[in-house]
Amino acid sequence: MKATAMGLVTLILSALVILAVAALVHSPSGVQPPSHVRPPSTATTSGAKLKSAKIVFDTPAEDDKDADTKISVTLFTKEKGKYKRIVASKNDFDGDTDYEAPSRHEKELDIQGEITRAQVGGLRVVIEIQPMGLDTWIFSYKVQLNFDDGTTLERAADSVKLKEDDRKHERTY
């Protein structure tokens, strides 16, 4: 009899906890988990429009980018199964800026047309340099796409090495 009563009490307490948690989550005054913990709903995320894109370069205490080396960045997404749709880009920039070691440089990219989160089916990052002579640049980068529903898509790579005879980095995520 004691085991049955204990089981019944445990069952009732479990049900009360479930109901209390459900009331908190669905109540407008209830405690919600922070937005970075909650996965965005697919209803709002899939139609969310890209509002900004940027790349952040971190040059560690190794080889820096010379001031006369230009950079071009292009972000592609899939269209009909191939990475050919340009999401955002910026061409021939910072050809007058030395990326000293160590340093951080952030650049806004130009969005190419209207694109939604649902249309970003994978991402290919292409970074190219146009050095004037000899230049070896070792860096890490982070690409960030910001959508109008508050969601963000980030992709990153470490220890990328570009130089005068190896000018192009390409990575698919």
Q: Residue 26: pLDDT above 50?
A: no
Of 40-44, 65-69, 109-113, 167-171, the least confident: 40-44
| pTM for this prediction | 0.74
State the CATH number of the domain containing residue 110. Answer: 2.60.60
Domains: count for the chain:
2
Q: Residues 36-62: pLDDT tens digits?
A: 333 444 445 689 999 999 999 999 988
Q: In what order do the strands lie in the sheet with 103-111?
A: 152-163, 136-147, 50-59, 103-111, 82-93, 70-79, 124-130, 168-172
10 and 55 together in one domain = no
> Per-residue pLDDT tens for 70-96?
999 999 999 999 999 999 999 999 999
pLDDT recorded at residue 12: 62
What residue type is assigned to position 159 of the chain? S
Q: Is residue 47 part of a domain?
A: yes
CA dist list (Å): 114 to 46, 123, 162: 13, 16, 31
Residue 153 pLDDT more than 60?
A: yes
Domain residue limits at 82: 42-172
pLDDT band, very low/low/confident/very high, at 9 (cuts 50, 70, 90): low
- Type of residue at 89: S
